[in-house]
């Protein structure tokens, strides 16, 4: 359990000459107010957390029924009406919202009467990594909760704000290019306007592992934010070339799934822990990694998250199901029971004592599942290190073309030998647990998808 006596960094003061107790500015004061409440709410029982969520959900649903055309008949048919208490039975009747619904509804999902205190509004466009990009509206309040949960993550993992933070991620075209990258005076709007932080540096995710390693050696950050696939490439490059990053304390990953092998490699090769974050652009933070364990705590103060089986029932601990989320504070464009396309495994209560629900693993999307001829589907183990041990593979992507055929796309300095093909095919069969027909194709590059994400395995079925 986290010590209640551990030192907490002081936020910025907005009044010259007043350094303790601190008097934060208006925006920072809102974040600090939320953080103070988060410190209390994280220790509530699951039942107490659920009760508070239902209070907020009742208000959100009443607002959606009254002001968003899309929800009028949809929610009324489920038994939702303004001022009526929300029951589990009523909630279960609310239909799921899918990406296609958002795309097709246009402005019908927008509230026609956003409260003044929630303004200004802003647009959020997803990267479309599913092939179905969507645009949603956010508010000043959703931005406030995003910043507050960002700070919670920093505080949970005891990051020192006075150090340097580096990010290798997606940037707008032409920005954060190698070799210089981008520079920032602080850690960004959330942390930088609330706490005195060190500088930040950014590099586009489209750079090579060699370029990333050289850039990081020049930057010498204490913390690195990146995608799991990029981290895997970076770790292999560092291991092969004896590269180390003195001063690096932690790697923080976003946007893609993380497995235990990547966590282990990060610790063994880079000498630092890996901390993962689960979020989406359109809904904000969903879960943060526990400060004491590798599993994730759902951020119940800002989102109501369900994991449902194929029949629509809530999954029990140890079961895997579809992730369905309802952001609690978006009064501009309510996303009620939004099926985001991910699957996750529900976990048991955490030994740390927090009542926030547990996700043991984030398993990714349906398109990343292999399908056997029997109809069985699951996520294959795709850790690239074992494949790279057979041949000098720089990039590899498997694409299921049919129930019997997998294409293996390779970026490699030379074609595989017959023996290397045999070994690689055997390893693929062992990892996927079926003797698929495997074909190898050679490419100069396997591009990342929208938003910089990379898929090791995808199905075209």
Which of the four pLDDT bands, split at 50, 70 and 90, describes residue 384?
low
- In this prediction, residue 24 has a pLDDT band, given cuts at 50, 70 and 90, of confident
Residue 51: C-alpha distances to residues 46, 48, 300 (Å): 9, 5, 11
DSSP string, 243-268: ---TT--EEEE-SS---HHHHHHIII
Rounded average pLDDT over 72-100: 85
Tell me: pLDDT of 1 over 50: no
Percent above pLDDT 70 for the chain: 92
Q: How far apart are CA 36 and CA 198, in angstroms?
A: 23
Terminal Cα distance for the chain, rounded = 45
pLDDT at site 257? 86
Encode pLDDT of 312-355 as tens digits: 999 999 999 999 999 999 999 999 999 998 999 999 999 999 99
pLDDT of amino acid 363: 84
Domains of the chain: 22-159+249-365 (3.40.50.12780), 370-459 (3.30.300)
What integer best gives the mean pLDDT of the chain?
88
pLDDT more than 90, % of the chain: 57
Angle (nearest 5°) at CA 318 between 45 and 294: 70
> What angle in degrees, to the nearest 10, is found between the helix axes of 26-41 and 140-156?
60
Collapsing DSSP to helix, strand or coil, 321 comes out as: strand
Q: Quick one: average pLDDT of 391-400?
A: 83
Instruction: Place 450 in a pLDDT band, splitting at 50, 70 and 90.
Output: low
Say what the pLDDT of residue 174 is: 86
Report d(CA 255, CA 226) in Å as an integer.
9
Which residues are CB-contacts of 17 (< 8 A; sequence separation ≥ 6)?
none
CA distance 143 to 147: 6
User: pLDDT (tens digit, 9 = 90+) per residue, 162-172?
Assistant: 999 999 998 88
Mean pLDDT of 233-255: 94
- Token pair for 429: 């069969």
Find, among 315, 295, 306, 384, the residue nearest to 340 by Cα. 306
- Confidence class of residue 13 from pLDDT cuts 50, 70 and 90? low
Lowest average pLDDT, out of 60-64, 243-247, 253-257, 294-298, goes to 253-257
Instruction: List the Cα angle 42/48/53 in 5-degree steps.
Output: 85
For residues 88 and 58, what is the distance between their CA atoms, to the nearest angstrom? 12
* pLDDT at residue 383 in the model: 58
β-sheet bridge partners, residue 395:
411
């Amino acid at each position: 359990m986290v010590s209640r006596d551990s030192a907490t960094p002081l936020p910025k003061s907005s009044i010259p000459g007043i350094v303790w107790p601190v008097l934060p500015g208006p925006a920072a004061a809102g974040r600090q107010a939320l953080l103070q409440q988060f410190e209390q709410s994280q220790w509530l029982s699951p039942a107490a957390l659920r009760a508070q969520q239902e209070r907020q959900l009742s208000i959100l649903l009443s607002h959606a029924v009254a002001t968003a055309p899309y929800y009028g008949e949809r929610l009324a048919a489920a038994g939702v009406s303004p001022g009526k208490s929300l029951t589990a039975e009523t909630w279960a009747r609310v239909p799921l919202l899918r990406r296609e619904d958002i795309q097709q509804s246009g402005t019908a999902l927008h509230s026609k009467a956003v409260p003044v205190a929630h303004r200004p509004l802003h647009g959020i466009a997803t990267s479309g990594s599913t092939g179905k990009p969507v645009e949603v509206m956010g508010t000043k309040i959703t931005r406030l909760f995003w910043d507050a949960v960002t700070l919670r993550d920093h505080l949970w993992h005891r990051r020192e704000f006075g150090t340097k933070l580096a990010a290798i991620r997606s940037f707008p075209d032409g920005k954060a290019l190698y070799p210089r990258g981008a520079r920032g005076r602080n850690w960004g709007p959330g942390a930088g306007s609330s706490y005195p932080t060190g500088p930040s540096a950014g590099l586009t995710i489209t750079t090579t592992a060699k370029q990333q390693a050289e850039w990081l050696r020049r930057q010498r950050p204490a913390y690195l934010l990146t995608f799991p696939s990029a981290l895997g490439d970076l770790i292999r490059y560092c291991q092969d070339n004896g590269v180390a990053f003195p001063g690096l304390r932690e790697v923080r990953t976003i946007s893609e799934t993380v497995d235990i092998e990547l966590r282990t490699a990060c610790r063994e090769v880079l000498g630092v822990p890996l901390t993962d974050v689960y979020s989406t652009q359109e809904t904000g933070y969903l879960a943060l990694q526990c400060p004491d364990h590798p599993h994730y705590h759902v951020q119940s103060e800002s989102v109501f998250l369900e994991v449902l089986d194929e029949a629509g029932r809530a999954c029990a601990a140890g079961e895997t199901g579809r992730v369905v989320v309802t952001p609690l504070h978006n009064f501009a464009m309510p996303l009620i029971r939004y099926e985001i396309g991910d699957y996750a495994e529900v976990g048991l209560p955490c030994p740390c004592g927090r009542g926030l629900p547990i996700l043991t693993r984030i398993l990714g999307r349906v398109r990343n599942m292999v399908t056997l001829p029997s109809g069985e589907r699951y996520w294959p183990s795709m850790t690239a290190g074992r494949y790279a041990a057979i041949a000098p593979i720089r990039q590899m992507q498997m694409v299921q073309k049919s129930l019997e055929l997998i294409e293996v796309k390779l970026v490699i300095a030379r074609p595989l030998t017959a023996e290397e093909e045999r070994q690689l095919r055997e390893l693929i069969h062992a990892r996927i647990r079926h003797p698929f027909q495997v074909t190898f194709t050679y490419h100069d590059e396997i591009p990342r998808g929208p938003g910089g994400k990379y898929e090791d395995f995808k199905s075209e079925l």
